[in-house]
Amino acid sequence: MNTFKVMMSAGATFAVVAGAALVTASPAISADKPAIEVITHAGAGGGTDVNSRMMMLRSRRTLKQDMVVVNKRGGGGAAAMEYFRSRPADGNSILTFTVGHAISMAMGKTKLTVDDMAPIMRGTNDPQILMVNCKTTKYATPEAFLAGVKNGDDISYGGTHTGTIDHISVYLWAKKNGQDMPKYIPFDGGGQLATQVVAGAVDVGVLNLSEASAPIDAGDLCPLIILGEARMDPIPAAKTSKELGVDLVLSTTRGFVTHAGVDAARVTEMEAGLDKAMKHSMYQAYLMNSGLDSTSPMASDAWGKQIKMMVAEFGPALKAMGLVK
């Protein structure tokens, strides 16, 4: 069965979250422990906010400790990071860290550094995918597309906004293949971008699987190259960049960190609690409904390496793109 056929609407997912948020603390939650602040940069109902709340649904029980969302909007995540930086390193603060935070760090928008954080768990991972118009493209296979890129074909790319993971993906993809930055056209969102690739406004769209379900199912968009570690079952014809000899892994990702000064035993306890919570059927259903799978949650060591890789890669890229002095 096509994974997309069983996806719930975003509204339905948020309804589950909103309903759960009204439930009072479980009797298993200790009244003697302070509530953990889960700090996000997104407003209520945004993707990061929803992901945070879905993690919290079961983590309250596994950690036997209540949790509250603290929304700090502004500065591409900088306000949330600065608030997190101001909190004590007592193991009662969690920052929902995203690819956008990594970009803001690389741009110098916050005083928070990688060394200030202790990774707990990754929550979601949505690889960047290069997609084309199935009916008009001259690139029928991933190999044909890569050959065109290396040949220096005049290929235009679309993504969401400038200075984003989409923009950086296009730059790094070109660089890894020995090419200069190609023409990049920014759009307001993934839905608009997918529509414009189908309409022929750009040759290639940098999209996530969750953004492009309808045009993929309709046979209008063809995913060719996944900038991820592994192939994806819903799009079997697409290959990873690594398979094609291009060492590039980039994702729209979200996960959880606490302060570097937190006692190691407490960090281990938090990781075990979140790990158990995200293995629960409720969180796994959320992943499936979002077009993701069980590989999204990742342990602290690997998640920490991904954070460091993002910040290290993004800084030089943004500078070369002229977006950072």
Domains 3-125+253-320 and 127-240 share a fold: yes
Looking at residue 296, the DSSP 8-state letter turns out to be S
- On the question of pLDDT at 19 being above 70, the answer is no
Residue 67: enclosing H or E segment and its boundaries?
A: strand 67-71
pLDDT tens per residue across span 94-131: 999 999 999 999 999 999 999 999 999 999 999 999 99
Q: What is the pLDDT of residues 129-169, one digit of tens each?
A: 999 999 999 999 999 999 999 999 999 999 999 999 999 99
CA distance 278 to 123: 8
With a cut of 70, say whether residue 4 has pLDDT above it. Answer: no
pLDDT for the residue numbered 153:
97
Round to whole Å and give the CA distance between 271 and 121: 6
Predicted structure pTM score: 0.87
CATH class of 3-125+253-320: alpha beta
Structural domain boundaries of the chain?
A: 3-125+253-320, 127-240
> Which amino acid is present at 263?
D
3-class DSSP assignment, residue 135? coil
Is 70 exceeded by the pLDDT of residue 48? Answer: yes
Q: What is the pLDDT of residue 26?
A: 52
- Taking residues 36-45, what's their average pLDDT? 92
What is the C-alpha to C-alpha distance for residues 3 and 201, in angstroms, rounded to an integer? 28
Which residues partner with 150 through β-bridges? Answer: none
114 to each of 219, 237, 320, how far by Cα in Å?
42, 37, 22
- Classified by CATH at the fold level, domain 127-240 comes out as D-Maltodextrin-Binding Protein; domain 2 (3.40.190)
Contacts of 151 (CB under 8 A, 6+ apart): none
